[in-house]
Structure 1
Amino acid sequence: MRLLPAGVWARVLKRRLPTSLWGRSLLIIVLPVLVMQVAVTWAFFDMHWQTVTARLSDGLAGDIAWASESYADDPTRENLAIIADRAQRSMSLSVDLREGDVLPDERHRGPIGVVDRTLEDALRSRVDRPVWFSTTQYPAYVDIRVQHPEGVLRVIAPRERAVATQAHIFVVWLFIATILLMGVAILFIRNQVRAIERLAEAAEAFGRGETRERFKPHGAREVRAAAKAFLDMRDRIQRHIEQRTALLASVSHDLRTPLTRLRLELALAPPFKRAAAMKGDLDEMEHMIDEYLAFARGEAGEAAQTVSIADLLAVAGEDVRRAGAEVEISVPEDLSASLRPLSIKRALANLAANAAAHGERVRLAARALPSGGIEITVEDDGPGIPDDMHEEAFRPFSRLDESRNQNRKGVGLGLAIARDVARSHGGDITLGRSDLGGLRAAIRLPG
C-alpha cells in the first residue's frame, strides 16, 4: 500500500480538527486525558493485573497439584475424604472424585483470553496428569478436573483464587476521576470561550452599525484587556462619526441658506435666457449636498425591523418609472427580512436610479438563498461596466465617465453608499453582466 506524503496527512488532519476555539480548547483537555487514561490502564493490566493473576493461578495450580498427588499416593475413599476436608478448610477448595469419568473434549474459554492462558500455563507446569478446566461454567467459580486411573478428580475453586477479580474497580474509579476532571475543565473553558464569544458578538454588531450598551468585560486577564480595548475603540469611532456627521450637517445647513436665497431671487427675477440653466445648477448643487450628507451619516442609528421585500422593490420600481424607464419586478410576496428600512431603501434607490439613468429596461428581483439569506438584484440594459472596473465603481467619488458616464447628476457616491449599507447589514454587493445586456448589481444579505 502506497503511503501518502506527510503534507497530505497534515491537510487531512487539519480538515478533521475542530475549527472553533471551544472545540480546540476541549480537544486540548480531552486528548491528553484520554491518552493518559489509556496509558495508565494499559500499564495497570500489563504490569499489575497480569502479574497478580499469574501468581494467583500459579498458587491455585500448586494446590491442585498437591491434591492430585496426595490422592495418587493413596487412592482410597478415606484418603480422599481427608484431602477434601483439608482443601476445604485451608484452601477453600471443593474436591470430589467422579469414578469412571473422563475429561470432556470441548473447551470453555472466557472473554478475556489472558485469564485462560495464564491458568493453563500454570496447570501444565505444576500438574503432571491430563487436566481440563473451565472459567465460564460457573460465574463465581473455576472448574478444574484432573484425570486419574480411577476417574476424574474434580476441584471447584473460587474465582478469586485464580483471577484478580477487583481490577474493574480501579478502572471504574479511573473513569470517574477522568469524568470529574473533564467536567471541571469544560466549565472553566466554557467560561473563557463565552467571554470571547461575547466580544465577537459585540464587534460583529458594531460592524453592522447596531448600537449596543457597554458590557462588563470578564474572563481571563488578556480577554478582559481585549474587550476593554474594543470598547474604547468603539467609543472613539462613534465620537468620530458623530463629529463628522455634525460637521457635515452644519456645512449642509450653511450651504442651504445661500442656495435658498439664490433660488428665491431666481424665482422673483424677471424671465431671462439663462434662468433654466441656473435653476438646474441649483438643483444639482442641492443634490450633491444631499449625497455628501447621506454618505457621511449613513443610517447606523436606525433600528432593524422585519420588512416586506416586495414593498421595498415596489417603491424602487416607482422611482424607475418616474425616471422614464420600463421596470419589471419579480419577488415572492411572502419574502421578508429583518433590515433597517431607510438605509435599504436608500441603497435600492441609488441602484435603481443608476439603472434607470443608463438603460431603458430595468429588472428588480429578489429570492431566498439556500443558506438562509436573501438576494436582491437590480439589472438594466445599458452599456454596463467592464469587469476590471467593478471595484473601481464602488470607490467614493468615482464616476467612471469614460465607460458608463456614471452618476452624471451626482458625485459618484451611489454605489459606495449602497455597498456601505449592505455591509452594515452583514452582507455585500457584487457587480456582473446582466441577461438584459447591461449591469447586474446583486445585494446579498444574511438571514
Structure 2
Amino acid sequence: MKLPRRLEPRLMQRLIKRSLPTSLFGRSLLIIILPVALMQIAVTWIFFDAHWQTVTSRLSDGLAGEVAWAVESYQDDPTPATLTRIADRAEESLNLSIALQPGRDLPQGRRTNAFAVVDRSLERALAQRLDAPFWFDTTRYPAYVDIRVKVDEGVIRILAPRDRAFATQGHIFVLWMAMATVLLTAIAILFIRNQTRTIERLAAAADAFGRGIDAPAFKPSGAREVRQAAQAFLAMKSRIQRHIDQRTALLASVSHDLRTPLTRLKLELALAEPGPRTGEMKRDLAEMEHMIDEYLAFARGEGGEVVETVTLKTLIEEVSEGAIRAGAVVSVAADPELQARVRPNALKRALSNLVMNAAAHGEKVEVSASRRPSGGIEISVDDDGPGIPQEQYEDAFKAFNRLDAARNQNAKGVGLGLAIARDVARSHGGDIILDRSRLGGLRAVVRLPG
C-alpha cells in the first residue's frame, strides 16, 4: 500500500523523532558529537580523495614504469646475462627484486586488498605501461608487492617494497583521527554528564519536596543557569514551607476556637434533661464535630509528617478495625513482608476513608496489597455496594461533591473522603483510580511508588 505524498514527510518526521534520544544527556551529546563526527568523516574523505589517492596513483605510475623498463629491457635481449644485469641494477638503484621463472604461467586467482583503491590504482598503472599479460598481489607479503609479467621464456617476477606502490601512512592518519574522535567524545561525555547530573539532582529534590520529603543535602551546583534554577527552587520551597507553617498554625487556632464552644454545648446537653430534642441536638453536635474534623484534615493534608518504612499488612489491619466495629465484613490479603516508605498517619487516614466508605455502602469489603509487575505498590479496596457509574468516577474525587443518586447512605459525610485519599496518594507520588469491583460494587485502587 502506497502512502499519499503529503503523509510521507510526516511519517519521516515521526521516525526521526522516535530515533532521537529523549534525555537531555543524549541530546546534548548528539549535538556535540554529531558535528565532530561529520567533520572527521569529511576531513578523512577529503584526505583520501585529494591526497592519499593522488600520492598512491603517482607511486603506482612510477613503479609501473620501472616494471615496464625491466621487462622491455629483458625482451630486447632475452639472455641470462641481460637478466642478471637488469636485476643487479634494479636492486641497487630501485630496490626491486627481479627473477625469471622459466616455463611458468601467471596465477589465476588474486586476493582482494581491503583498500580496493590500492589494487585499482596499481592495475590501471600496469595496464597503461605493459603490453604483456601481468598479475600482481598486494596482500601476500606484509612489506612487499608481488608483480608477475608473462614473457616468452616464462614469467618475470618482481618484488617491490609496499611504499613504492602506494602511500603506507594513510592508516596512521585514520588512526589518529579515530583517536581524536574518541578523546573528544570522552571529554564531551564527562562535561555533559557533570551538567546533567546537577539537573537530575534538582529534579530529585523537587520530586522529594512534592512528596513531602525534605532534601537537606541539596545545594545549587553546575552551570550558571542550572544554579539559578536551583536557587529559584529553594526560594520557592522556602515560601511554600512558610505558607504551610502559617496555615498549620492558623488551623490549629481555628480548631481550638471551634472545639471550645462545642465542648461547652456538649457539656450543657449532658447536664440537660433527657428528651427527644436533646437527643437530636447531640446528634447535630456529633455531626458538626465530624464535619470540622474532615474540613481540618482536608486543609492540613498531613504535610509535616515524617516518612517511615511500614509493613502494609499491619497498617491495613489497623485501618480495617474501624469498619469491622461498624458491622462490615472485612477481609485483608497482603504479603506480611510487603513494606513501603510512606507517611503512616496520612496513608492510614486515606485508607480509612476508603475502607469506611466501602463499609458504609456495602456489607462485604476486601482489602488487598501487592507489588505491581511494572514497579510500585497497589492497594485495592473492593465492596459489594451499589457502585458508581463510570462517567462519575472523576466527579467522586471533587471536594464537597456527594454522589447522592448512587451512594447517599452516608448521612455524616461531607464529600471529602475520596478527595483527602487522592490528595494523600498524590503527595506520595502515586494516585487513586476507581473501577468496577468483582464483588459488584466499587473498587478503589491506591497506587504508590515502590
Question: How does the TM-score come out when normalised to structure 2?
Answer: 0.94
Pairing of 1:394-405 with structure 2 (within 5 A): 394-405=397-408
Give the aligned residue type for 2:256.
Answer: H
Who is 1:310 aligned against? 313
Bigger mean CA offset, 180-189 vs 30-39: 30-39
Who is 1:446 aligned against? 449
Bigger mean CA offset, 8-17 vs 240-249: 8-17
The total of aligned residue pairs comes to: 447
* Structure 1 unmatched ranges of 5 or more: none
Give the aligned residue type for 2:186.
Answer: G
Who is 2:183 aligned against? 180
Bigger mean CA offset, 93-102 vs 422-431: 93-102
Who is 1:260 aligned against? 263
> Is 1:196 aligned to residue 199 of structure 2?
yes
Identity over aligned pairs, percent: 66
Distance 1:153 1:416 in 2: 98
Deviation by residue 1:107-161 (Cα, 9 ceiling, x = unmatched): 3432332212211111111122222222222221111122222332221110111
Deviation by residue 1:26-52 (Cα, 9 ceiling, x = unmatched): 222222222222222222222222221
**Stretches (4+) displaced over 4 A:** 1-4
Who is 2:53 aligned against? 50
Distance 1:172 1:111 in 2: 16
Relative distance call for 1:414 and 1:133 in structure 2 (3 A) is same
Relative distance call for 1:275 and 1:340 in structure 2 (3 A) is same
Shift of 1:407: 5.0
Q: Which residue, out of 376, 379, 382, partners 1:379?
A: 382
Deviation by residue 1:195-225 (Cα, 9 ceiling, x = unmatched): 2111111111111111222732122222222
Distance 1:244 1:76 in 2: 115
Who is 2:421 aligned against? 418
Distance 2:283 2:181 in 1: 80
C-alpha RMSD of the superposition: 1.9
Indicate if the aligned counterparts of 1:210 and 1:300 stay in contact, CA closer than 8 A. no
Q: Which residue, out of 112, 115, 133, partners 1:130?
A: 133
Who is 2:214 aligned against? 211
Distance 2:275 2:103 in 1: 142
* Structure 2 unmatched ranges of 5 or more: none
Shift of 1:243: 1.1
Distance 1:131 1:63 in 2: 14
Deviation by residue 1:47-80 (Cα, 9 ceiling, x = unmatched): 2222211111100000111111222223333332
Who is 1:238 aligned against? 241
Question: How does the TM-score come out when normalised to structure 1?
Answer: 0.94
Q: Secondary structure at the match of 2:273?
A: coil
Distance 2:296 2:220 in 1: 35
Indicate if the aligned counterparts of 1:425 and 1:445 stay in contact, CA closer than 8 A. yes
Give the aligned residue type for 2:355.
Answer: A
Who is 1:65 aligned against? 68
Q: Which residue, out of 343, 347, 352, partners 1:349?
A: 352
Distance 1:248 1:310 in 2: 32
Q: Secondary structure at the match of 1:139?
A: coil
Q: Which residue, out of 13, 38, 41, partners 2:44?
A: 41
Who is 1:162 aligned against? 165
Shift of 1:360: 1.8
> Is 1:113 aligned to residue 116 of structure 2?
yes
Distance 1:264 1:108 in 2: 109
